[in-house]
Every structure is written in structure tokens, then in C-alpha cells.
Amino acid sequence: MIAQIGGSGGYFATASEYGRRRATKAAGAARVARDTLDTSGVPLKEAEHKALEEQALADFAAAEGISLSGKTPPPKTDEGTKTMGPVPQANEGTRGTGPVSQ
């Protein structure tokens, strides 16, 4: 008796139709949002960000003595002029490698 009232596919058809309506409504909302958004300045902003990125990289490379062309190796520096990485301690290497004793 219960199987005859709703049928076996009634619920699925209703849920499917509800899903289609929601998808159609969401697609319409996305179209309206896209049409109302001013995207004319996006390429200009992208170019501006790219230029700032390249300038920051060039400034960093110049400060660190790094060649960006890739054709010439970076200049050799001695350990005393390192600006990046861990700084060696003045007494490094003078103690033994064994356990610490008091």
C-alpha cells in the first residue's frame, strides 16, 4: 500500500528537479555577478604586480650579489661577508665534539 502512494521514483524525481532549479539559479547569479563586475583594470593590475615583483627580485639580487642572467656565475665571497644563513660563532671549532662537561 505504501509503495503505491509515492511510487519508487517520486522522491528521486523531486530531489532531481530541486537540484536542477538550484543549479540554474546559481548559474544566473554567477552571470549577474560577472556582468556587474568591472574587470577592465585586471590586466593593468597584473602588469603592475609583475613589474613590482621583478623590481623586488632585482633589488634583492643586487644586494646579495646574485646574477639574474644565469650566464655568469655569482662572484666568490669569503665567509666573513655572508649576509644569509647561519652566522658562524667566533669560537666555533675550538672545542671538542664530545659531550659537554662542567
Give the residue numbers spanning the domain of 50.
Answer: 40-70
Residues 6+ apart with CB under 8 A from 79: 88
CA distance 99 to 97: 7
- Is residue 52 domain-resident? yes
- Is residue 60 domain-resident? yes
- Is residue 100 domain-resident? no
Q: E strand or H helix at 49, and its extent?
A: helix 42-64
Tens-place pLDDT, residues 20-63: 999 999 999 999 998 898 888 999 999 999 999 999 999 999 99
- Based on the domain organization, do 47 and 63 belong to the same domain? yes
Q: Would you say the pTM of this structure is higher than 0.75? A: no
Which cell numbers in the block locate residue 52? 613590482
Tens-place pLDDT, residues 87-101: 667 665 555 555 565
- Based on the domain organization, do 47 and 62 belong to the same domain? yes
- Is residue 13 domain-resident? yes
- Is residue 59 domain-resident? yes
- Based on the domain organization, do 33 and 13 belong to the same domain? yes
- Is residue 21 domain-resident? yes
Distance of CA 24 to the CA centre of its chain: 32
- Is residue 80 domain-resident? no
- DSSP state at residue 24: H
